Amino acid sequence: MAFIPSHKKRPRENPGQARLQLTSMMDMFTIILVFLLKIYSTHGQLINPSEDLTLPSSKVQQLPELGLDVTVSSDWILVNGKPVEQTQNIIEQEGYIIPRLQEELLRYSTEAEKMEILYGAEFSGKATIQGDKHLPYRLLIKVMATCGQSNFPNMRLVVYREE
Amino acid sequence: MGYRSLKRDRRESEWVHANITPMLNLMVILIPLLLNSAEFVRLGIIELNLPPAAVSANGQMLAELPQEEIVHLDLTVTITDRGFFISSSLAVLGGEKEGEPSISKVNGEYDFNMLSMQLYQIKQKAGYRFPDTDRIILMAEPEIDYQTVISTMDAARSLYYNGEMIELFPEVSISGGVL
């Protein structure tokens, strides 16, 4: 049997004018928009994860807070993005206190205390520690001991949140 | 004539497309904006609970304490390369054999579920007899890696059982141990 078209081919309205078919693009955009709205966070990124380290993952649900950024990668220890000491030197070092890190932290804390007196910006002694997940415990404990001894007793460990 | 013009209107509207260009413009603006502020990696923080400030042995605080000494639980988990040792001020949780860790490694992996279960049992037994039933001290050997420490903290903080979260010892302190 011959194929009977279900509807007659309609004549094009404006044969001279080409129309761009935007409907499918709109569909796509709508889906992307909904997805982005869903993962949108009002907090923004308070902590920028460093590039040369992998943070450990944890089931913790607490959201990040602002604080002095102490990063411990496999090569360097950084304070607010500024390299302070080579990690390799610290692993072999005796004792808990890392002298150069302490010096840097004390500089930040005296500055923050000055700010507190001048402008009333409260100094809470918060430090966020970003460490590579393969760091040995002895290094971690040294960094934490130094923070604690250098006016930054409120330490927070930055982790990836597992859902 | 009124009738005719109405009919012609309807026929023309049959092929009118909705003008979606303004909406498209909106999308083009909104999507980069949202992409920019999107958080693809979800970061969290673990707040460390430092032990409360130590009071000197003959300090003033001591005078306010009742005469009988308060027994603290001082629950401690020590991570070694063989497994976990669980100890408290009263006892050490023994392993299967003498000198074995309380919870041995299973196939070279740390058994975090078992640790949670054991701590849950300890929590049940301890009840509220001690003033520090929320606190746990974590110790590790120098070569234990950071991820293991974090996972142990997770296991000590709460137990996930049948999809429910049971709080164990949320105040995790880190101890320096022996270097």
Helix axes A99-119, A137-149, angle to 10 degrees: 40
Q: Do A41 and B23 touch (CB under 8 A)?
A: no
* Mean pLDDT in residue range B21-42: 83
* Mean pLDDT in residue range A120-126: 79
For residue A160, give how far its alpha carbon lies from the nearest alpha carbon of chain B (Å). 5
For residue A115, give how far its alpha carbon lies from the nearest alpha carbon of chain B (Å). 25
Q: Is residue A42 part of a domain?
A: no
**Angle made by CA atoms A42, A45, A155, in degrees to the nearest 5:** 115
Nearest chain A residue (CA) to B47: A156
Neighbour count for residue B70 (Cβ, 10 Å): 9
Q: Does B147 touch chain A (CB under 8 A)?
A: yes
* Mean pLDDT in residue range B63-85: 71
**Chain A (14-73) residues lying within 8 Å, Cβ to Cβ, of chain B:** 19, 22-23, 25-26, 29-30, 32-33, 36-37, 39-41, 43-45, 47, 49, 55-65
Q: What are phi and psi of B76, to 5 degrees?
A: -130, 135
The complex's ipTM? 0.71
**Chain B (62-101) residues lying within 8 Å, Cβ to Cβ, of chain A:** 79
Q: CA-to-CA distance for A129 and A147, rounded, in angstroms?
A: 9
| Residues from chain B contacting residue A133 (CB–CB below 8 Å) | 145-147, 150
Q: What distances in angstroms separate CA A74 from CA A1, A44, A135, B89, one per listed residue?
A: 76, 27, 7, 37
Give the start-end residues of each E strand in chain A: 57-58, 68-72, 76-79, 82-86, 126-131, 154-161
Which pair of tokens denotes residue B105?
Answer: 């490694």
**Chain A (131-150) residues lying within 8 Å, Cβ to Cβ, of chain B:** 131-138, 140-141, 144-145, 148
Q: CA-to-CA distance for B160 and B143, rounded, in angstroms?
A: 28
* Mean pLDDT in residue range A9-14: 57
Best CA proximity match to B80, nearest among B90, B66, B95, B69? B95
Domain count, chain A: 1
pLDDT 10s digits, B102-133: 777 777 788 888 888 888 888 787 777 777 77
Q: What is the pTM of this model?
A: 0.71
Q: Is residue A3 part of a domain?
A: no
Q: Is residue A9 part of a domain?
A: no
Could you tell me the residue range of the domain that residue A105 belongs to?
Answer: 57-161
Per the model's pLDDT, the better-predicted residue between A93 and B25 turns out to be B25
For chain B, what are the domain ranges? 2-37, 70-174
Best CA proximity match to A73, nearest among A91, A58, A57? A91
pLDDT 10s digits, A24-63: 888 998 899 888 888 776 665 666 667 778 888 888 777 7
* Mean pLDDT in residue range B85-105: 72
